[in-house]
Each structure stands twice: as C-alpha cells, then as structure tokens.
Amino acid sequence: MSSSPLRLRVTALLTAALACLSAGIAVALPAAAVATSDGVVINEIESDDGKNPDWIELVNTSSAAVDISGWIVKDDDDSRTDAIAAGTTLAPGAFYVFTKPAMTFGLGKADAARLFRPDGTTLVDSYGWTAHATVTYGRCPDGVGGFTQTTTSTPGATNVCAAASPTPTPTPTSTPSPSPTSALPPSGAVVVNEVESNGGDPDDWFELVNTTDAAIDLTGYEVRDDGDAADHRYELPSGSILPARGFLVVQKSVGSAPGFPFGLGGADKVRLFAPDRTTLIAEAAWTAHAATTLGRCPDGTGELRETVAATKGAANACGVPVAINEVESNGGSPDDWIELVNRSHAEISVAGMVVTDSETTKNRYTIPTGTTIAPQGYLLLQKSAFGFGLGGADAVHLFDRDGTTEIDATSWTAHAGTTWGRCPDATGAFADTSASTPGTANACAGDPPAAEAWPGGASVRVLDQKNEYPDANLSGLDVADGTLWAVENGRGRLHRLVADGDAWGQAPGWADGKALHYPNGSGRVDAEAVTAVGDAVYVGSERDNDDNKVSRPAVLRYQPSATASELTATAEWNLAADFPGLGANSGIEGLTWIPDAWLSARGFVDATTGAPYDPARYPGHGDGLFFVGVEGIAAVYAYALATDGSFARIATIASPFPVVAEVQFSRDQLWIVCDDACDGRIATYAIAGAGASAGTFQQTHIYARPAQTANVANEGFALGDACIDGVTPTFYADDARTDGFSLRSGTLTCTDASPTPTPAPTGTPAPTGTPQPTGQPSATPTPSATLAPTAGAAPSAAALTTATRGGLQAPASAVPGQAVTITVPAAVPGERVHMWMFSTPTDLGTATVSAERTVAAIIPAGMATGVHRIVVTDAEGAVLGWTEITVGAAVLASTGDDGAAFAPVALAAVLAVLLGAGLLRRRRSVSLVL
C-alpha cells in the first residue's frame, strides 16, 4: 500500500457519522461493513420536490454492466428494507432512479441516502445532509465528483451544476475559455484549498481552487504527495477544468473509478506540477491528520488549518471547531451537565462563548475568561455553573462570543436513558449513549472493545539511519534465523537486514535491497508483506507498480540465496479470482505461514468441509498454510498454495479493525495488526479448543500501541522468536517515514517455555524443476551480532551541577534489574550517548537516541538502595544531562494469566543482550505471558 498514515481506506472509511453542523454540510454515515461499489454510486438526490415523490439516482461509472438486483436503499434509518427489483442491470454510464412505489420512505431535511448490498449491512455508497438542497444534491461531474447543489433536477440524466465560487459573488454571465495547457496559470492562480487525508467519502481527496476570473484547464498536470516514485504520481485526465473562482476535487481511486493511487498521510503533502513534471504550480503540507479536513481560511489565500467540517467542492467551513458533545438532562452526578469537545489538534479558547437551553434569551451562560479546551479534549459544564436545568423536551445551543452566531445546537424530545451524545464521539449524530462519560469520549453502541495496555516496553527506538529508505515505503517485516526481512512497496524491493551494533543494516551483498520481479522477469512488485519459510522468502503484493491501476493480489516465492542484484519470482499465486472488484490499493498487506502440524494438533477446522483440517486433502501444498491479510476487506484468509500455482481457501478470519496492515504468527498466536487507522492496535487470535467456535481462530486480546509511541503508519510488525530474561524484541516498519525514520524496535514481555527445538519448516514446495528447500535444522544456532563494549571515562562528579542538568528526565524510582526510559532534551535523535550512575560511577552502556530523544538503560542488579544520579554524556564525554533516581529493593515480577502485571523492560540495552543470545532464531518455542 502506498500509504497514508492514519488513513482509513476504501472499505473502512464510510463509517463516519452524520455530523450536525451548519446547513448543507455533508458527511458520511455509519455502516457495519463496506464493500467496493463495482462502479455504482449514488449520483443525485431529491428530498424536497413538494409536488413529486422523493428519489435517489444511481449511476454506473464502470466500463461493465452491473447487476444491482436486490441491493438495498435506505435513508438514515437502519430498519429500511426497500430493495431494487430483481433483474435490474445497470449498463456502463447508465442511470437508475429509485423512487415510489419501491421506495417506501421519504427523505427529510436532515437525512441521508445510503446504498447497500443485498445483505442490508454492507455499505456501497452514502451521502448525508443537514438541510434540503435548493434543487437537488448531485455529483459534479457525474459519478466521480463531490456532491454539491445542482441548478436543475435531472432524474435519469446528466447532472447540471453551477461553477462553484469560493465567495458568495454573483455567477458571471459568461465563462471565459479555459487557459490552454501550454500556457501555465499565473502564480497563485491555482491553490490547494482543502485536504482530506484521513479517509473521507469515499476516501482521501483534495480540492483545488481557482483564484482568477478565467477557467483553467489542468489536463495533463501531475499530482504527487511527498514522494516522487512512479506510484506516487497521478496525471489529471482530459477534461480536468478548474472553473473561474471555483473548485476541482481530485479523489483517491476507489474500485474502478479514476483517481490518484496513493494515500495521504498524517505528515504529508499535496503537490501539483505542470505537464513538464518539474514546474511546481501549487503545494500544501501538513504534519498531522485533521479531525475534519485541512482547509485554507479564507478560501484560496489563508493558512491551512483544521476546518469545522469537510466541504468537498465548496467553500471551506472556517468556524470554530468546538461542538456540543454530550448532555445529561435528567440529573447526573451531581446534576445536569453539558460537555463540549474540541475537534482540532490545537488548544482552543472558549472564553466568552454563550451556552443556553431552548430558552435562548432567558437562560444564558457565558463561559468564564481563561477557559480553554485541550487539543481533542473536553470541557464539562455543570448546572451549578450555568444555573438552569435541562428538561425532558429541551435543547442546548452554543453561540460565539457575539452571543448571536450559533456554533452548534442539539435538541431532544425526551430524557435519554443514559445521556444524549454524539456517536461516534465528537463527530457523529446525536443519539442515546451506552453509558454516561462526562469529560471523556462518548460510549456508543457498537464501539470496539477497549484496548489493553501493550504487554511490553512503553517506548520504541529508531534502528535505521535518517532517510535510509528514501521512498518512504517500508512495509512488511519478518524475523527468521537472525535476519530481519523487510519489503519496500514503492520501489518493489526486498531487504535483508542484520544486526549492526544496536542498529540494523543491509546484509553484505544487499546494499539498498534487491528489486523484485514477477516469474517472467517483468514488473515492479508492490511488495507489502513478507514471510520467510525454510530457505525461501514469500512476498505478498497488491499490484504490479508498472500497471498500478490493476489489482494483482499475489503471493510470490523468491530464493534469497541468489547472488544477483535483482530477484525473479520462482512461483506466483495470483488470488485475484477470489477477490473480484478488489481495489488496486486494497489488496494483500500481511502474510505469514503456520505449520500443518501445529494446526492439526489444535483441531483447526477446514471451513470448506466443516471437519478438522486434513493436509492430505491438498496435495502439493507443502507442510503448512499461508495466512493472507487483505487490507480492503479487513480480514485474514488461510490458503493452501500448490506447486502448480493453484490455491484453495481453507478459512476466513474476520478482524476487529477497518483495515489489516500486517499478519504474524508467533508464540502460538496469530497477530493481526492495524496501522494508524486504528491508533496502532494489534489483535491476537488463538484456536478455540471447545464450544461452538472450537477449531477456529478466535480473538483473545486487543492491545494498544506502546504508551509512549506516536501514532504512525506502522505497516510492518515482527517479533523475535526467543525469550531471554523475560523479553523479546518487536520491530515496526513505518510506511510514512515519520521524522525521516522507517524502522523502529520495542520489546514484548514473555516467558521461555524451553521446548525441544523443532526442525525448520519446508513451506510450500517449489514448482517442478526448482530445487526444494531441505528444511534441515542447523547443527548450531546462527550467530547474531553482539554489541561491543564502548570505552570511555566516566564524567567527573564535579561536572554534575545545576547548569548541566539539561532537563534530563527519568523515573523517580526503580529497582535493580529494571529498565528505565530516559529523556535527554539536549541530545540529537540518532546520536550515540553514554549512560552512567553515580555516586560510585557505574557504566550503564551506550545507546542511540530515539526520535523522541529517549534512551533506555537497566539499573544494575547489584546497585545499592538509596538515591543515585543517572548521567548521560555525548561521544566526547560532555555531560548532556543528569537527574536523581531512588533505587529500591529488588522484587520479583508478577506472572499470571491476565496480562495485568508486567515487569518493566529495556529497549536498547536489553536488545543488545537479546541479540547476543541469538534471540532472533526462528523457533516457535516461546509462550507469551497473557
């Protein structure tokens, strides 16, 4: 996946709730599951004709006929069951109008139109509004543009839309001809005006605005994000006209619809280049996703900031990003209350704003001077402060400082059973919540279960050099026999990494990795996932980047022992037939292998037979199954891959996430990873031994990302296979290259089961004519690199003065053997530093400073109790900072089954010990303390 941090992608992004915002602002509605549309989308909506029935128009944007028989059409009421008649097929480019008598409901002032598959739960497309259109709502251009107000109602025909204007000026009586593509527009004429980087309707998009009085033809202009690789470029198609004083929306590709093939990240750019591919016409950059969108305020000229709401193809909503979020009207604790939420990523002052109930002139409360709301935080207003009670049929209004400009409002006709709040939190429509949550995020029906704390170290450290992976596309990871395998999706490369001190570098002969090709030697593999089995490496791919608009979800087999600088696959299993309609950027993201013996010993059930899995049923598949994570469907599939290129799906495992970014098998568990789209959560699965789910993989835990880590686009995840002194390393690949770094490591708490070593797996046999791996175990473990001790004298105690404290931070107390994280503000990320403890100088070793300016050290086992000082010096011995720490008596770490207690673990120092002990050997011999 050419990726976007935090990006909820094609199938995940139509779950945003209808926001109760200013009139006419549209947002998406929630749905349990989302499918690709096969090119069929909602195109025009009539909700208030007055003389004729309401209607919803569909259009087929694809090049093939689509059978829409039985598809369900709903408004915002999930109980609707109105179905499209049997035998209804929509030809390419054809329209279909759904209205009475098949449509049994009417469309309201604040409502939605939604299209579902025949199951009534798989959402295909949706559009919501908070006020009737003057005429109708329609896409401009048909099928692919954003929704806007039309000028003529055209059921069953091409939409008629006025050229949008960033300011409410009269429409010109004539439209000047577009500027010819050979003449570049004046500087500042084309501006990136609004950006949706975190998944919109139906995915990422950006909007251009024309600040001049002449239309501009952008045909042939090139769009890029912050990358320059071929799969990060998109040429605007013929007819890309930016109207005078108007807008042009450029959409990420969805299904067969045209659009840019890459996602927009949390820290990213949108760049528009002239047809010469070198002249930069317009650019916008940002450092974090917006809760809504990023837009210029005022349109075309202002700074890019967080908007109040997405206004795709229309003037930006530049109001205050504060909203009413939850209301207790029936006596809470201690009484009625009102909660406000800050939707933005910046602190906002709400001092002087006015809150009222339904009696807007009588019951008025002015928020006191100095009141602010933290970024994405909450402000709780109690009845004791605002002075009036809230009734069973009442309302809450929020006005700006002038006391008359309404920012937000909500009303209800009866007390809620719990509270009245937005679902999803902060952005959704109001509904009864599932629990009262004053001052915190709303609890809503259907919310995913709360994540448990990560069972390991709270922080991670950087392993690579800055910009070592210049294309910012490092993706899947796997650990095997002292090697960390990594794939890069943009350039299509396989990297073989080995420990180099406390960093990881390319193995000899693997400088900058090796380019990957398909079996015929052609193509540029969009390598997203990797797993090593026996002496082969298998790569999961979404597509051929030389033909990046066509889905090609494939598993490819490579022999990494080849000495050539490029690798050609020895086999390919193209799974496209199993995933019809899968988007080119929605395919395989995770890949792992599980031995048949392990599956059979636990009674794994073959879903095709309903009986225990019998490996003999699938001749030629080797001695294990491949588990493939598909991003766009958010599920994992077990496959038997045969030597003749055929395959058989054995089971499907649903995930709790909107996307699947990585899959790993380790410690008798299947690990399913979601990237920044889910705040970096990871779910674990085990085969149930009893009950109705016996023999199937069932979820056991959902873990949050390590507490001190940023929410970045971790599309790769791997674990060491041995457990030394209670910890094993974890590895993360950041597809967005946050802060210039792509590879990081943390730790996981574990316990060594010390089983008898098992032979290495053979995996899937090679196709006929290709030598098969022998699968023989090594006589001795493959050695791993060991950190060499670093020489250097301890700093003088006289150097530890108030002036040299340097703002260094460490835990106030620790025990011998405990790992501590030290923050060194004076250090530079990537710098090598030395750590000491005083009074008697004790060498704690060296470490590389992380991007967060942290290092880790272990309190020595023999350290005396009492107050000590931790000191960090640079490579020349100069003191960067120091602080006190109290060492207590050593205690035994708690163990048990609930995962509630974990001993603190080290990062750099512990990893050094683990590497020296051969921790990364692929031997499935460790069980996790859970």
The confidence score (pLDDT) of residue 254 equals 66
The confidence score (pLDDT) of residue 774 equals 32
Task: Output the CA–CA distances (angstroms, integers) from residue 683 to 229, 392, 455, in the order listed.
Answer: 32, 42, 12
**Are 151 and 160 a contacting pair, CB within 8 Å?**
yes
Q: Measure the CA–CA gap between 764 and 623, rounded to whole angstroms.
A: 7
Q: What is the DSSP letter of 676?
A: G
Name residue 504's amino acid: W
At residue 120, φ and ψ (nearest 5 deg) are 75, 0
**Are 315 and 336 a contacting pair, CB within 8 Å?**
no
Q: Measure the CA–CA gap between 515 and 522, rounded to whole angstroms.
A: 11
Q: Measure the CA–CA gap between 307 and 289, rounded to whole angstroms.
A: 12
Residue 868 — very low, low, confident or very high, per pLDDT cuts 50/70/90?
A: confident
3-state class of 914 per DSSP?
A: helix
The residue to which tokens 């959402």 are assigned:
123
Q: Measure the CA–CA gap between 287 and 605, rounded to whole angstroms.
A: 46
The confidence score (pLDDT) of residue 396 equals 97
Q: Which of 395, 409, 389 is nearest to 358 (CA)?
A: 395
Task: Output the CA–CA distances (angstroms, integers) from residue 526 to 271, 539, 620, 808, in the order listed.
Answer: 23, 9, 27, 43
Q: What is the DSSP letter of 191?
A: E
**Are 496 and 483 a contacting pair, CB within 8 Å?**
yes
Environment class of 716 (CB within 10 Å of its CB; exposed 0-12, middle 13-18, buried 19+): buried
pLDDT digits (tens, 9 = 90+) for 620-668: 999 999 999 999 889 999 999 999 999 999 999 999 888 899 999 999 9
> What pairs with residue 462 in β-bridges?
744
At residue 843, φ and ψ (nearest 5 deg) are -75, 120
Q: What angle do CA 311, 313, 315 make, to 5 degrees?
A: 60
Q: What angle do CA 672, 541, 539 make, to 5 degrees?
A: 75
The confidence score (pLDDT) of residue 169 equals 36
Q: Measure the CA–CA gap between 572 and 569, rounded to whole angstroms.
A: 7
pLDDT digits (tens, 9 = 90+) for 553-596: 999 999 998 889 999 999 999 999 999 888 888 899 999 999 99
Structure tokens, 902? 């974990």
Q: Which of 411, 528, 472 is nearest to 741 (CA)?
A: 472
Q: What is the CATH number of domain 461-752?
A: 2.115.10
Q: In what order do the strands lie in the sheet with 662-666?
A: 662-666, 669-673, 682-687, 697-703
| Omega cis (within 30) before 334 | yes
The confidence score (pLDDT) of residue 826 equals 83
Q: Measure the CA–CA gap between 440 and 498, rounded to whole angstroms.
A: 45
Q: What is the DSSP letter of 827?
A: S
First-to-last C-alpha distance (Å) of the chain: 32
3-state class of 909 per DSSP?
A: helix
What is the mean pLDDT of the segment spanning 700-718?
93
Beta strands in 501-623 (DSSP E): 503-506, 514-517, 525-533, 536-544, 554-558, 566-568, 571-574, 588-595, 605-606, 611-612
The confidence score (pLDDT) of residue 486 equals 97
> Which CATH architecture describes the domain 190-306?
Sandwich (2.60)
pLDDT digits (tens, 9 = 90+) for 90-117: 888 889 999 988 898 889 887 889 898 8
Query: In sequence order, which residues have a C-beta less than 8 Å from that of residue 690 and are 6 or more positions away?
Result: none
Three-class HEC string of 139-184: EECCCCCEEEEEEECCCCCCCEECCCCCCCCCCCCCCCCCECCCCC
pLDDT digits (tens, 9 = 90+) for 181-232: 458 999 999 999 999 998 777 778 999 999 999 999 999 999 999 888 887 8
3-state class of 809 per DSSP?
A: strand
State what percent of residues in the chain have pLDDT above 90.
46
> Which CATH architecture describes the domain 797-891?
Sandwich (2.60)
What is the mean pLDDT of the segment spanning 695-699?
95
How far from the centroid of its chain's Cα atoms is residue 250's Cα? 21
- At the top level of CATH, which class does the domain 33-161 belong to? mainly beta
The confidence score (pLDDT) of residue 223 equals 96
pLDDT digits (tens, 9 = 90+) for 324-341: 999 999 988 889 999 999
In order, the DSSP letters of 429-484 are EEEE-SB--TTSPPB-TTPPPPPBPPSB-S--EE-S-TTSSTT--EEEEEEETTEE
Classify each residue of 866-883 as buried b or exposed e, where b means 16 or more C-beta atoms within 10 Å of its C-beta: eebbbbbbbeeeebbbbb
Query: In sequence order, which residues have a C-beta less than 8 Å from that of residue 544 and are 6 or more positions away?
Result: 518, 523, 524, 525, 526, 550, 552
Q: Which of 559, 565, 563 is nearest to 766 (CA)?
A: 559
Task: Flag the least confident range among 20-34, 122-136, 352-366, 404-418.
Answer: 20-34
How far from the centroid of its chain's Cα atoms is residue 422's Cα? 22
In order, the DSSP letters of 271-330 are EEE-TTSSSEEEEEEESS--SS-EEEESTTTSEEEE-SS--TTS----S--EEEEEEE-S
Name residue 210's amino acid: N
pLDDT digits (tens, 9 = 90+) for 293-306: 999 989 999 989 88
Name residue 774's amino acid: T
Predicted confidence (pLDDT) at residue 789 exceeds the cutoff of 60: no
pLDDT digits (tens, 9 = 90+) for 34-53: 344 578 999 999 998 877 88
Strands 635-641 and 647-654: antiparallel
Query: In sequence order, which residues have a C-beta less than 8 Å from that of residue 64 and are 6 or more positions away?
Result: 39, 92
The confidence score (pLDDT) of residue 176 equals 43
Widest CA span of the chain, in angstroms? 91
Predicted confidence (pLDDT) at residue 240 exceeds the cutoff of 70: yes
3-state class of 600 per DSSP?
A: helix
Structure tokens, 527? 């390598």
Environment class of 436 (CB within 10 Å of its CB; exposed 0-12, middle 13-18, buried 19+): middle
**Are 317 and 308 a contacting pair, CB within 8 Å?**
yes
What is the mean pLDDT of the segment spanning 680-696?
94
**Number of neighbours of residue 808 by Cβ within 10 angstroms:** 22
Q: Measure the CA–CA gap between 358 and 380, rounded to whole angstroms.
A: 19
Predicted confidence (pLDDT) at residue 772 exceeds the cutoff of 50: no
> What pairs with residue 372 in β-bridges?
349
Q: Measure the CA–CA gap between 768 and 479, rounded to whole angstroms.
A: 28
State what percent of residues in the chain have pLDDT above 70.
84
Q: Measure the CA–CA gap between 518 and 528, rounded to whole angstroms.
A: 14
Global pTM? Answer: 0.54
The confidence score (pLDDT) of residue 899 equals 33
Structure tokens, 652? 């499907």
Does an H or E element contain 270, and which? Answer: strand 268-273
